[in-house]
Structure formats: C-alpha cells, structure tokens
Chain A
C-alpha cells in the first residue's frame, strides 16, 4: 500500500468531505443502536426530530450551538497556527468564573453603569481564558514544551480552581451547601432572541466573531502569518514573519474565545456558575474545528451539527431508550472520519504498489 499525492485538490472534494464523514459515522453508529436493541431508522428519526422537529427543538439546538461555535473557533484559530489548544474546557470555566466575579449580584462593582459593567464582564471573561492559555503558549515558544499535555493538564487544574472558588470566596451563601456562585445581575444577562425559548444574543455575538475571524485570517497580515506559521514555521521564520509573536497572539485569541464561551453560558443561559455547566464543550470544540476544516465560517455549521446531535440524542434517549452517550460516540467517530476523509482529498491509495 502506498499513498500518492493527488496533483490538485478539488474544492468540491474539500466541501463534500465532511458530509461523507458524517454519513459514514451515522452508518457505523447504526450498529451501536442495533446492539442496544432499538430500531435504527426510528432512533435516527427521533434524534433528528429532537434536534430540528419543533420550534422548541430548534431553539434548544441553537442554544447549545452558541458555546460550541466559540469553543470551535478557539480550536480552529489555534490549530490554524498548529498550536494544539486542548484546554478550551478549562478556559471556558475560568472565563465564566471571571464573568461572575465582575457581574454577580452584590459584587464590588455594582455601582458601575450596566453598559460599562457588561463590557467589563466580557473583557474579564476573555482575558481569563487568554491568560490561562498564555502559560502553555509561553512554555511552547520559550522552552519547546508540548502544548497538548500542558493544556490538557491545565483543564484539571482550572476545574479544581473553579471548584475551590465555588466552595470558598465565591460561594453563593443562599445555595445551601451546593457549590454554586451567586447569580449574575439581571441587567447583565444577554437578551433572548426568541420568546419562550432559551436562545440568546450570545448566538449573534458568536456568529459575528466567526465572521470576524474569517476576515482576519484571509485579509490581514496577521492572518497570513497565522496560516504561514501553521503550515511551515521554519519557512515563516526565514521569510521574517514573527513566529513567536504570531503563536502567542493566536493562543491569546484562542483562549479569549473559549473564555467568552463561558461568559455566554453564564450570561445567556444559567445566570450562575456551577461545576456541571459545560458537558465537555471544550473537547467538542476540537471536533467542530476539524469538521469545519478550520474554516471559521464552517465552524458555525459544524457547531450546529454537533449541537443537534447532542440535543437530539437527549430527547431520543428519553423516548427510544438508547443511552444518550450515543451522541458522544457520534461526535468522536466523526472526528476520526473527517481526518481520514480530509486525507483522501489530498492523497489516493495505490494498492498494487508499495
């Protein structure tokens, strides 16, 4: 077996690849559904219905997609520079924690005008996420420490830190022993987009940020440096591009986006912070970024897809009796599938020769 590079990469092939990967994933996971003793067609139909079948279902999917767009963007930006930020989960939590610190009822900043306080809350969340990733980024640039392991380990540290704060100084005294922060000032909450639903304006902010990232990558010198450093850091350094600065800035943006995902959850959905706020949004972001081919606009589509699987599976498991962990399996399988599909847009396999 040998891989042979295709002479050109067709644009259509690149666009079709994620869909083929998803289709393959659903076929494979059908076996798991059958194993659980449920009818495959009906289970998938219920899943689809649970995600898109009603106004409520759709609104839930979009609500779930909001943080996923942001963590997906966080991964996409970092991966573009070949900086493997696997720490979005931790960055999301510290972002949420910072938002609560600034915006909680009865906080020290209550005297400030709400608009200023809102801006401050967003900024604090973004800064907290960025700061958490600055450490691994500096270690990578300065000492060549692999960022994958450091960001992974930081997730555990960040979560323990948040737990410590929710047990201690930031604990809501009215929560009766449950580790939970005080609620956010209602004035700072993100407005609802649809009546009788949980969709909030965080969705608009996330989409706007995706568009902004797309523009930055394509039309600015920083975006060029980001792409060049990711594709070939040695060549980028030779051409005089500021490799270390680009990596650091890319990492800060990535961390800030993940931090904002946490702010959005607190300000748009939960209004206070608990330790089970994120069902692995940070890790799902990696899958979303890969499904999107690291394209910031593609992230929106991929995030809606992943959100629909998660939301649909919850509703499906209630009626069909298939465990909702099926959603996690689908998400993980589609990551591996897109990896392979992406390769086939660039290479073909020749079996006869080695």
Chain B
C-alpha cells in the first residue's frame, strides 16, 4: 500500500497525468462542441491523425511550432467542414459519415507520409515544445506544471474559455439551442446550418490540435497508429462529463490518472503478488471508458437534438 502511496505522491506521477490528459482535454472539448450543437463527430480519431501529421510536417519543413499547431487546427477544421457538409447540409448518417471521415483522414495521412518520405526506415524527428521551467516555482502544482509544455497550459486554459463561450455569449447560446431544438434557432432568424457548421469546424480544429500535441509535444515524430483509440476515448469521456467542459476536464484527468497508474504498476514489480501480463494493464483504459459510458448512460441528459438532422420545414 505504501508503494501505491509513493507512486501517487511523486511529482513524476502527476507530470505523467497532465501529459496523458492534454490530448484528451483538447479532444473531449472538441467532441463536446460538436455534440452541444447536436452533431456526433466520430471523425475525431482520423482528425487527430491528420492533425498529428500536418502539424508535424510543417514543423519538419522548417515552420515554427505554433505554426504547426495552427496548421493542425486548420486541417481539423477542413475535415470538420466535410463532416458538416455530409451531416448538416445533406443530413446523412452521423455515425457512418464520422467513421468514413476517420478512415479517410487516417489513410490520407498514411499516404501523404509515404509520398513525402518514400524511403525512410526510422521516422524523421523535429525539436518539440520545451517544458515551461518558469512555472515550476509555483506552489503545490509547480513541479507537475513546470514539466509540461505550453500546449498543456493552452488545454487547461481552454476549459474555462469554452465554458464561458457556451454559457455566457450569444454564439454559445445559439450552439446550445441548435443542439436542443434547431427549429427554435431558425424561428429566431439564426441559421441552424451555419451554427452547426461553425461548431463542428471549431470542435474539429480542437481535435486537430489534440493530434498535434502528440507529434509536437509528447513525442517528436509521426508514427502510424500513434492516436491508438484516444479519439474514441474522448467520445466516451463527453458522455461521462454530461456535456460540461468542467466535468470533461475532470474526466480527462481522472482517466489520465488511471492510465499513469497502470503504467507505474506495470513497471513496479513488488506491488502486486503476481506478475500480470502487460496487455491486461493496457486494456485498462479501454475498459474504464466502457465502464464510464455504462455508468453515466442512464442519467445522461443528452442534448435533445443530438444525432437528429435538421431539415427546414420538417418537424
């Protein structure tokens, strides 16, 4: 037990938690924006891959790191526009369109990578974001925060910003209303198609940034399969968070804490009486996501128009 305490009390543990949580925070906020406007976006997994690749590619070609982040957001927004065109403008199945988008974005990234680097055997690397040592002087959270990069700080700062936009600004009200009753939005002279398209593009841009964190901050290269289901986990986390930005942050941190813990448990031999196969530890995050879905599904207050296409004149 004391070893468990040692793990949780160590700053290395909390450094890992924040690092694991960062892409989840971006991604979950992205899914949340789309779903508050009434649109499921299963394209997240592929959009993250595309963001990871595009962000990394421009940095590799000499652009500055923040330009990489911006390009990743742009790539995400463009893919979001495709999703919006299919689901909002044409009213097609949000499930199938999102999956199609994931397949498309993933395969396009792989194809583009191979075309750009036909003959490399080891992935080319870049110089990623550096830790913000200046923050390590802060009391209590300093040691954990000081080891993070600016992108983590950006993710944490986005949580109250998104919450403010949704709850306190006219455009946030329009987004929420579009997810509750699109007819009401149209009746007040605001275009549902525009509101939903905007929300999906903004949300998808965040998903792109989530991917860029992986190549520009967590690692320094692009690998196939590097997203590895994180996008799907974000979709589950939004349900867990009841579509609230604050709870989304909490969910992402909680999830990351479990993930960091299982990594530590894998490495420490003395804690458990038997040596378990490492695969069991790796399964834990996915199992946890399913459990979170099941627990929350029953009391989930879904946006009422989620997954319902809006067509003018139809009720």
Contacts and interface: CB of A to CB of B under 8 A. Distances in A.
Interface of A: 1-3, 32, 35-36, 84, 86, 139, 143-146, 148-150, 152-154, 156-157, 160-161, 163-164, 167-168, 283, 286-287, 290, 321-323, 325-326, 328-329, 331-333, 335-336, 339-340, 343, 354
B100 A336 contact: yes
A27 B132 CA distance: 48
B104 A332 contact: yes
A354 B313 CA distance: 9
Interface in B224-257: 228-229, 232-233, 235-236, 239
Contacts of B312: 2, 354
- 5 pairs of A and B residues whose beta carbons are closest in the complex: A328-B107, A323-B114, A332-B103, A164-B279, A332-B104
A153 B286 contact: yes
Contacts of A336: 82, 86, 97, 100-101, 104
Interface in B82-135: 82, 86, 89-93, 95-97, 99-101, 103-104, 106-108, 110-111, 114-115, 118
B111 A326 contact: yes
A325 B279 contact: no
Contact of B92 (A36, A164, A339): A339
Given A146-B293, A329-B107, A332-B103, A164 B280 contact: yes
Contact of B236 (A149, A167, A168, A335): A149
Nearest to B238: A149
B111 A139 contact: no
Contact of B290 (A36, A150, A164, A322): A150
Contacts of A150: 290, 293
Given A326-B111, A339-B86, 12 more contacts: A32-B111, A139-B294, A144-B297, A145-B297, A149-B232, A150-B293, A156-B283, A160-B283, A161-B279, A161-B283, A331-B103, A331-B107
Contacts, number: 131
Bin the interface of chain B by size: 35 or more
B46 to A, nearest CB: 9
Contacts of B289: 149, 153
A193 B235 CA distance: 45
A340 B87 CA distance: 10
8 contacts: A139-B294, A148-B99, A154-B286, A287-B103, A325-B114, A328-B106, A339-B96, A340-B90
B275 to A, nearest CB: 11
The secondary structure that dominates the B interface is: helix
A328 B286 CA distance: 26
A153 B86 CA distance: 25
A225 to B, nearest CB: 21
B9 interface: no
B97 A339 contact: yes
A290 B96 contact: yes
A84 B95 contact: yes
Contacts of B293: 139, 145-146, 149-150
A340 B92 contact: yes
B108 A86 contact: no
A336 B104 CA distance: 9
